[in-house]
Amino acid sequence: MAMPMQVSLDEILSMLLARVDSLAINDENSKSKFNIVARVLYKKGILTDADIVESIKEEHLMLKELGAIAEEPSDEIVQTIADGILQWIKGDVASLKKGMEEYERRLQEAMAKQQSQKPKIDVASPAVLQQLNRMGGKGQGGGKLII
């Protein structure tokens, strides 16, 4: 009978992190290949702005019919998606940088808002807790929950 193999939690986490890193690199590689091919097609006139918009609409229609989304996006949202894709295809670095800066600003604002809404919990030191216990007349035993 074969002995069961023991694997530590550290080894499992290392394997999982290595796999996640591999998937992330694979994803970036696929994105780069897509961008290169799309740029070639766009420059040759095979791929147009209208083709991108129409493909986005078709994609969302299919997702709706499959039940993956509740409703198709508005024309304004479709155009926003198309603009983002076209910025990459056209290599519009200035617009991409501006969009990234705007995204970073919004992210910082959202994080600041979230931090300001978090309830704060103050923890008393043991000396303060002992002082409160003495004031309550319980001596050293027992504890109190202070709200």
Give 42-76 pLDDT, tens digit per residue: 999 999 999 999 999 999 999 999 999 999 999 99
Whether the pLDDT of residue 138 is over 60: the answer is: no
Q: How far is CA 50 from CA 17, 40, 45, 53, 131, in A?
A: 41, 17, 12, 5, 74
Check residue 101 and report its DSSP letter. Answer: H
DSSP 35: H
**With bands split at pLDDT 50, 70 and 90, how would you rate the model's confidence at 24?**
very high
pLDDT top residue among 87 and 126:
87
Distance CA 65, CA 140 (A): 68
Q: What percent of the chain has pLDDT over 70?
A: 90
C-alpha distances out from residue 121 to 81, 118, 125, 133, 147, Å: 42, 9, 13, 20, 10
Distance CA 89, CA 47 (A): 10
**Residue 6, pLDDT above cutoff 90:** no
At residue 1, the pLDDT reads: 61
Q: Hey, what are 128's tokens? A: 């303060």
pLDDT band at 122 (very low <50, low <70, confident <90, very high): confident
For residue 146, is pLDDT > 70?
no
pLDDT category at 141 given cuts 50, 70, 90 is low
pLDDT at position 144:
55
- CA angle at residue 78 from 32 to 103, to 5 degrees? 60
